Structure 1
């Protein structure tokens, strides 16, 4: 990819955030570190005072004298990483209840478990909440940036990579170290970070697969109960996300364990030791990484539109599997995700079998690396770069 001048890429979530600002006195934007939250809110609300609560002396001032702090930073204001100063939220509640205006404050936060608890306690009904993940493929393409399948998987989608200067390997190395050595220590009591780090690396080798904590416990050397706690922390802090099985209205034995994905495919590729597109293309987990990328694109499309994810998968005890099920109203859209470039009916065999089980099935689709082949009678074939458009049309 040719290096380009750093630019502010328009984010697909922007209309949703502006809508929330007209509906609530406070808008809260959560998401993983470096997903572009600060850049986005400062762009959308340029007249708001900006306060970074990651700065130690600013944070200390807010914690020691929250009332005076808010007097010095009156509305409209942006408070970045609000979970760092819990006392502020109760005072914000009092202010918005007294004034009663919309679009008074914008809050951002990266640690979902802490932030969600604080919002529930102090700002229930007073804030609209949006989740911002890293850039989607369609956002990159809107900025004139295109890549091949394996390069997308390797590079990932962090906004800091847009200008083509920062090496993805360096970014994910630093990102991982920061998370394990700082963020994770704030969320769980880790005397020894090595088992936790091992757990994350093992999860990278299981993207797109069912979670078996009992099996992982032996490899990591801690109990399955501890791993379940760690898994919750990883999901709450946006390192991973899970997708639940769909089992409505089926009178048969179904698999009920969730599947795991990484929120940033590039991080998973880094943890697997992949450093070139050629290595990605030859790796035994290519199909899993491709599925991770496409499933996360579907998640981004829903979150950016302000919709519930409504994403599931299907697997029964007889081996029938559908990688992704999109619930759209009363429609059930089954999607197979394949890394292949060449379309053939073997790729859609599971979709055809699933259609005989679920009468509400519509628009069965194979998302793959080849060209678009629309069809009314049989499953369509869709290039993976069209995932956002496809999901948006379902809304």
Structure 2
């Protein structure tokens, strides 16, 4: 893991610099933003780099922001959330000079969520989200399931050599560069340090929290509810917080890229969909660390394999959607009668691919119930339904529905 692993987001940064004045690379701490920007600017002469983690550089930015951003060529400002007062002089500079490719900003908090944000850059800034490594990036695989599913419908085919334990090992490692290169024992030390830094520093930059212990308690509770419906009222009672405080804490955890909510999907053809979002942790390595389960424990009876594997798949899809040629949004579907589909991908023109996730190596008839319901509901708009499971072969289950080995997510080509 000592070599630099290419990131799919680099092409997005290169493209954005060609027609956009300011590019913001936003993502979790330790996801590789600094490395990405270094690679993206390696062949650009006259690039100025400012690292706001350096206290002296940060002080200069805060004391004289207008002079700080005055430059020719391209300027990279790392961890922009540490000095949001730079955004106003950046806006003024790019308004006076509309050339593309003037700034790359990086942030480990959602910059637009900063309480001290003076002004955004509408129409002047493109935001590119960088997630921890995808499985395709780690294995130099195509990573194009989203495009392949919409382009080829239910004709995708894949035979795999991976087994259930292999997928659980991948989920436990997660995708943070520092975590995947470590042994399991050293990985635990990284996660401990990572979470402490995130709560003690990044969360406090966004908002004051009354009791930090409550945030850690909430995080552990959320990890145990990964891939479940996100019901703030219920969570508030379990963690001993008011509902309003719980909602604010959830927003903070989302802003620092620890959790993601997957909205409920509905259509005007039905009024029975439950509108509650589903919770996902951005990195399953962090989730497994918080619940204290390694691959062996996950796979035992009573282990959390089902929800962790589902979370794993949802976040692989979320990563792919940032670079897929086919624009689509990620949802989940659940009716009041309990008919559900774990993941729903919908294009702007209304076409849908349904995805059911199974941690087991076999597929039962009841596992197909949600996909078949969705197919009847949508008719021709239903492109295909896939059960992603830990078995090794592709199986057909009738019109537009089939089971695929889970690694089809990162191995199939469009």
| TM-score of the aligned structures, taking structure 2 as reference length | 0.86
Q: Following superposition of structure 1 onto structure 2, how do residues 276-291 of structure 1 map, counting pairs within 5 Å?
A: 276-282=294-300, 283-291=302-310
Note closer, same or farther for the CA distance 1:95–1:285 as it changes in structure 2 (3 Å cut): same
Note closer, same or farther for the CA distance 1:120–1:260 as it changes in structure 2 (3 Å cut): farther
How far did residue 185 of structure 1 move? 2.0
How far did residue 286 of structure 1 move? 1.1
Q: What is residue 253 of structure 1 aligned with on the other side?
A: 272
In 2, distance between residues paired with 1:135 and 1:254? 33
| TM-score of the aligned structures, taking structure 1 as reference length | 0.90
Q: What is residue 30 of structure 1 aligned with on the other side?
A: 26
Matched position secondary structure for 1:211: coil
Assess if the C-alpha contact under 8 Å between 2:174 and 2:180 holds in 1: no
Q: What is residue 75 of structure 1 aligned with on the other side?
A: 73
Matched position secondary structure for 1:245: coil
Q: Deviation per CA, 1:87-123, whole angstroms, max 9, x where unpaired?
A: 2222222222223221111100111055677889242
Q: What is residue 89 of structure 1 aligned with on the other side?
A: 87
In 2, distance between residues paired with 1:315 and 1:120? 40
Q: Following superposition of structure 1 onto structure 2, how do residues 290-305 of structure 1 map, counting pairs within 5 Å?
A: 290-305=309-324
Q: What is residue 39 of structure 1 aligned with on the other side?
A: 35
Q: Deviation per CA, 1:125-159, whole angstroms, max 9, x where unpaired?
A: 11111000000001111189x98111111111111
In 2, distance between residues paired with 1:309 and 1:161? 30
Q: What is residue 146 of structure 2 aligned with on the other side?
A: none
Q: Following superposition of structure 1 onto structure 2, how do residues 1-395 of structure 1 map, counting pairs within 5 Å?
A: 4=1, 6-46=2-42, 47=44, 48-71=47-70, 74-114=72-112, 121-142=119-140, 148-164=166-182, 167-274=186-293, 276-282=294-300, 283-305=302-324, 310-328=329-347, 329-359=349-379, 360-373=381-394, 375=396, 377-388=399-410, 393=414
Q: Deviation per CA, 1:320-363, whole angstroms, max 9, x where unpaired?
A: 11111110233111110111123444432321233222222121
Assess if the C-alpha contact under 8 Å between 1:34 and 1:158 holds in 2: yes
How far did residue 252 of structure 1 move? 3.7
Matched position secondary structure for 1:219: helix
Assess if the C-alpha contact under 8 Å between 2:88 and 2:118 holds in 1: no
| Greater displacement, 336-345 / 237-246 | 336-345
In 1, distance between residues paired with 2:241 and 2:366? 41
In 2, distance between residues paired with 1:130 and 1:248? 29
How far did residue 381 of structure 1 move? 1.5
In 1, distance between residues paired with 2:249 and 2:30? 22
In 2, distance between residues paired with 1:198 and 1:164? 26
Which structure carries more relative contact order (alpha carbon 8 Å, separation 6+)? 2
Q: Deviation per CA, 1:281-315, whole angstroms, max 9, x where unpaired?
A: 12532100000000000000001348765111111
Note closer, same or farther for the CA distance 1:39–1:170 as it changes in structure 2 (3 Å cut): same
How far did residue 212 of structure 1 move? 1.9
Assess if the C-alpha contact under 8 Å between 1:16 and 1:305 holds in 2: no
Across the aligned residues of Structure 1 and Structure 2, the Cα RMSD in angstroms comes to: 2.4
In 2, distance between residues paired with 1:224 and 1:189? 17
Question: Where do 5+ consecutive residues of structure 1 fail to align?
Answer: none
Q: What is residue 153 of structure 2 aligned with on the other side?
A: none
In 1, distance between residues paired with 2:19 and 2:183? 39
How far did residue 213 of structure 1 move? 1.8
Q: Deviation per CA, 1:243-302, whole angstroms, max 9, x where unpaired?
A: 11111123342211111000011111100011x320121253210000000000000000
In 2, distance between residues paired with 1:30 and 1:308? 19
Note closer, same or farther for the CA distance 1:117–1:23 as it changes in structure 2 (3 Å cut): farther
Note closer, same or farther for the CA distance 1:259–1:317 as it changes in structure 2 (3 Å cut): same
Q: List structure 1 segments (4+ residues) > 6 angstroms apart after TM superposition.
A: 116-120
